Amino acid sequence: MDSENFREKFNQHLLHPWGDLSTIGEDDHSSVIVKGDGVYIFDAEGNRLLDGPAGMWCMQTGYGRREIADAVAEQIMNLSYATSFSVINNREVQLAQRIAEQTPGDLNRIFFTTGGSTSVDSALRLCQLASNIQGKPHRKHILTREKAYHGSTFLSASVTGKERDKSAMDTIKEGIHFLSAPCHFYHPEFATEEAFCDFLIEELEQKILDVGADNIMCFIAEPILASGGVIVPPANYNQRCWQTVKKHGITYIADEVVTGFGRLGHWFASEAVFGVVPDMIIFAKGVTSGYIPMGGYAVSETFLASFSGDNADGCLYSNGYTWGGSPVACAAALTSWDIIERENLLSHVHQIGPYFQQQLRTLKDIPLVGDVRGQGLMAAVEMTIEGRNEEDLLAKDYAIGDMVDQHCQQLGLLVRPFINICIISPPLIITRQQVDELVSTLRLGLELTLKDLREQGIWID
């Protein structure tokens, strides 16, 4: 079957995440992907696309790894399933031990889930349980940020701050507090990043005062806000937030679903990059190089001890998933881990990351490009037609990401469009030559988009 046939059946039968309900069943352009190899994916006609977003920030070791396939096949034949509700499996133990060795501080206990959302949900529910056991049922307020993305379960979506995602879907409003997104680009009124950072910390302090430290269950934060537009916070922001919330005895949760497993050149970025030792770290995606769904969190022994053992008050952590700790997912994760180690992919990210960032920044000479930002192997190219205030961005730039994406797909590059932003986070194995290919194709896609905008009279020189 060719792409058109697949698309026709897709239009009849599928609903995709974040699907636009007004155009449901009308897709006439999305690539139909049938194969992957290294950093490339291929459509049904055999056209090759460089996978800019690495699937969805997850294909750390790239596509088509025979070694992972063999390990998964062997695991399926040996033990395809074991329920963590009643037995221990050898693979979950091996993986948990490796993760615990890499997490900072005393984050030595691991809970496995099926992905990022279920990990966020499970971590927040553990914190709720802690408050209840400790006789503080009022301590349930959550601090989060605008433009944060934490997932799609009811609770993880409720702590998500991406304005578009709030459209008409229900979320919990009570007790969830959104602080400003730490993006200096959106706040040119602050002359320096330092001044902006001071403002953000004062805002956090004020919020803690207003809500009352004793009512606040946790602060949840991605070290770099990924899906909200690769927002790299001002220097020291993460550490200052952590110090502030810890001063008030509030639990700090780092959502490392994207920043973990090598994207910033470390197994976990919290301490290594940002000098933060959280109480909990959430991971998913890259843990299996995207080959099998899996997620989880690491929790600090100190935090856990405050409501377990003699302090447990007879309570259970009644939360878990059929496929949490699946031996097959763990086998994929262990093999991906072996590859990352053997091929020195963490040091590769340290070497290629600065080159990737520097090359992407050369795109700033295109008038349509308002900002290029990022760190390690995660980046965003933000297109701006005019003005920088959010209303303008949403009203006028809404379709630009899609326009660039469509041109790039024709040219052999997949980018992840988000409103007026293209998100790029390639597999960790990307080479300098492939970075050059990515950037030159993106340049062409941006120039063609600018040409379209000029022809449509939207862009006026």
Ligand X SMILES: Cc1ncc(COP(=O)(O)O)c(C=O)c1O
Question: What is the contact surface with ligand X in residues (CB under 6 A)?
Answer: 115-117, 120, 149-152, 222, 226-227, 255, 257-258, 284, 295
Q: What are phi and psi of 79, to 5 degrees?
A: -155, 105
Paired sense of beta strands 40-43 and 369-375, if any: unpaired
Nearer to ligand X, 118 or 384 (CB): 118
- Closest residue by beta carbon to ligand X: 116
At closest approach, how far in Å is the CB of 119 from ligand X? Answer: 7
Nearer to ligand X, 221 or 403 (CB): 221
At closest approach, how far in Å is the CB of 405 from ligand X? Answer: 17
Burial (CB < 10 A; 0-12, 13-18, 19+), residue 170, is exposed
At closest approach, how far in Å is the CB of 364 from ligand X? Answer: 26
Among residues 111, 61, 106, 100, the alpha carbon closest in space to that of 289 is found at: 61
Burial (CB < 10 A; 0-12, 13-18, 19+), residue 342, is exposed
Whether the CB-CB separation of 24 and 16 falls below 8 Å is answered with no
Nearer to ligand X, 151 or 229 (CB): 151
Nearer to ligand X, 16 or 138 (CB): 16
At closest approach, how far in Å is the CB of 225 from ligand X? Answer: 8
DSSP letter (8 states) at residue 319: -
Whether the CB-CB separation of 189 and 388 falls below 8 Å is answered with no
Whether the CB-CB separation of 267 and 381 falls below 8 Å is answered with no
Nearer to ligand X, 36 or 228 (CB): 228
Among residues 221, 88, 69, 207, the alpha carbon closest in space to that of 146 is found at: 221
At closest approach, how far in Å is the CB of 298 from ligand X? Answer: 15
Alpha-helical segments (H) within 248-344: 270-274, 301-305, 327-342
At closest approach, how far in Å is the CB of 289 from ligand X? Answer: 14
Torsion of CA 328, 333, 335, 341, to 10 degrees: -170
Nearer to ligand X, 170 or 455 (CB): 170
At closest approach, how far in Å is the CB of 149 from ligand X? Answer: 5
In this structure, the number of other CB atoms found within 10 A of the CB of residue 356 comes to 26
CA distance 101 to 113: 19
Nearer to ligand X, 61 or 117 (CB): 117
At closest approach, how far in Å is the CB of 384 from ligand X? Answer: 24
Nearer to ligand X, 7 or 145 (CB): 145
Structure tokens at 180: 């400003």
Burial string for 174-194 (b: 16+ CB within 10 Å, else e) reads eebbbbbbbbbbbbeeeeebe
Nearer to ligand X, 54 or 284 (CB): 284
At closest approach, how far in Å is the CB of 442 from ligand X? Answer: 21
Distances in Å between the Cα of 77 and the Cα atoms of 74, 339, 457 are 5, 22, 61
Structure tokens at 426: 């390639």
